[in-house]
Amino acid sequence: MDIIQIAEVLNEKAKGHRIGEIQTIRYKIGRQDKKAIQKLFYISQSSLKYWGNWVLLFGGVKEFLFCLYLDNADHLWYGLSLPLKDKGMFDLNNDTKRLKEYVERINLLLNDSPNIFSGYSMWYEMEKEIKSCDKVAKILPEQLENAEAVFIGNSIKIEKLDYDLILGTFDKMLDIYIKVNTGNFEANYESLRNYEPPPKPRQIQEWSDNLIQETEQVLEDLSFVGNPERGGVCMKKNDGTFGVISFMNVLNRKYIVDDEDGNTESYLSIRDLIRAGWVLD
């Protein structure tokens, strides 16, 4: 069994757990700029080429996020992580201000509420291997110098794989995720249940080569999304029309855009979208 197969099972089984609400939680803590697909992990064979044997939270950004890592000894490491480098768009190593902020939050939360970390270990990925696995402790600057990622969570041998145990652990870790990513140590899963955040204003992004590449990678996971309400990449045309990429035919790379008036347009590449006047919303 490989990491992709494990992630696929967890994505399906997560629907019966608190962690299955992760995309709703992300929306409530300030990720309202995109309507994320209701998935736990982003699954892509191509991502393994630069992430290593990892899968990461679907729609994750540079933050403290849920992840899986399968090592060469068939140990599955699962929990929350700060990806520091070699993780594509999730790389925090070159964003020293944000990295420092997250480290400070984790250390403050550990000092303020040590019991919330009980039952978990902390470890570091160095040279594509797990090292320095021990109880959760304060993160020191020197520990980050050669690290590729910092984890907090648990591990299990593949032959003893227990999906409900993993998802139950994720359920408990949601409060850590919420507190660290918001910086509000009073916030938790229960406090967010009836909270509805104010909508964020639309933010239009001009296309760049990097943004085109990232968008194409995201669209790999939208191959079977035919309903705009279930997710998509929202865009705006220069005439003020809004639309969403709702389906991509993988065989011929055809992108289908449904606009707000019910019109449908097809394009063979992201650059064709640009020529048609669409920008990211």
Let me know if 154 is exposed, middle or buried by CB neighbors in 10 A (0-12, 13-18, 19+). middle
CATH of domain 209-280: 2.30.30
Q: Where are the beta strands (DSSP E) in the chain?
A: 41-42, 54-57, 65-70, 75-83, 121-126, 129-135, 149-157, 233-237, 242-249, 254-259, 264-267, 278-280
Distance CA(149)–CA(167), nearest Å, equals: 21
pLDDT of amino acid 83: 85
pLDDT of amino acid 171: 97
Residues of the chain with CATH 2.30.30: 209-280
pLDDT of amino acid 255: 82
If the chain, 281 residues long, is cut into consecutive pieces of 10 residues, what is the mean pLDDT of each piece?
91 94 88 66 76 80 88 92 74 77 95 95 87 90 87 95 97 97 94 82 76 73 48 76 74 77 84 86 73
Q: Note the pTM of the prediction, 2 decimals.
A: 0.72
pLDDT of amino acid 38: 75
Closest by alpha carbon to 23, among 65, 52, 53? 65
Distance CA(267)–CA(258), nearest Å, equals: 12
Nearest 5°: CA angle at 170, between 119 and 190? 100
82 bridge partner residues: 150
Other Cβ atoms closer than 10 A to 135: 10
pLDDT of amino acid 180: 96
Structure confidence by residue, pLDDT tens digits, 95-141? 788 888 999 999 999 999 999 999 999 999 887 788 888 999 999 98
